[in-house]
Amino acid sequence: MKVYGSGHVVAYNYIANFHDGVDVATYGNPDGTPNPIRERMPVSIDFYGNDITNMEDNCIESDGGAHNIRIFRNRCFNHGHRALSVQPMFGGPVYFIRNIVYHAPEGGAVKFTASSAGIVVYHNTFLSNVKPMLLAASNVHYRNNLVLGKSETPEIFAVETNTNYSSSDYNGFRPNEGAEFSFEWSTPSRTMLANFPGEDGNLSTQQQAQLEAKSRETRRFKTLKEYSDATGQDKHSILVDYDIFVKVSPPGPDPRTLYKPSDFDFQLRAGSVAVDAGVRLPGVNDDFTGRAPDLGALEVGRPVPHYGPRE
């Protein structure tokens, strides 16, 4: 399902066995760029409450969106290549809030690439890692997420960004055993607010990515503490394990396995370390039930969202 333009709402659908689930159409530069035609811009689009499974590529794509794209309370199971995609976003913001991703074996939970900007990632439960892909995003912010699981690479949380005002904190991570490094925070030199190398139309995407990478300092760390001490990111984040959930186990070794949402319960166990471990985000988690908001997509004591068609 693809949409373009403004004001679309795609909600409470069950979508299975396609290439992608729900997309903003990857249209290219909005009509009239650099002075876009306002009524033709891809803005103010909502995707929520959708149950999307068994996609060859992505669960949801915001690719080609411009401003105020909201992707929230969706459930994504069995996605071959990076479940939530931003390729690109023309300025943003694009919001990913309270989504569940389980089993995205090739690439992980997110695809933030194509020099996108303005990405907000709040209160998601990712049972797959977060890692970069080619052309880095800018102005990216992570809060109150849970990131566990694995894909074809062992790192659990790796961010490449062209801005030193991207940020991450109050998340829960489970590093994979035996990983050479578990965390990455690669940005331009800290003496710079941002560094955008510019695009050369004569270069391939791979060559452009290599040019862009030279503008950043690569910083990789084995432990959460090493990463936090060195970068100042995720100072309030914690380590978690699968026992924080009522009933969740990691995906198995065969990436072709298809899992059923009915076999899992992503609610948090009362008293687990992920409960009350988040930060207040006005307008997002005002209805939290304890001393502070919980991490992940589901708050203890609140109803589980409905995914898919309603009766």
The pTM of this model reads: 0.95
Q: What is the pLDDT along the chain (311 residues), one digit of tens a residue?
A: 899 999 999 999 999 999 999 999 998 889 999 899 999 999 999 999 999 999 999 999 999 999 999 999 999 999 998 999 999 999 999 999 999 999 999 889 999 999 899 999 999 999 999 998 888 999 999 999 999 987 667 899 999 999 999 999 999 999 998 899 999 999 999 999 998 877 666 778 888 888 888 889 999 999 999 999 999 999 999 999 999 999 999 999 899 999 999 999 999 999 999 999 999 999 999 999 999 999 999 999 999 999 999 98
The Cα-based distances of 256 to 79, 103, 198, 264, 273 in angstroms read 10, 10, 39, 18, 32
Spatial strand order of the sheet with 220-221 comes to 157-160, 183-186, 220-221
Interstrand relation of 183-186 and 138-143 (parallel, antiparallel or unpaired): unpaired
**Which residue ranges make up each domain of the chain?**
2-239
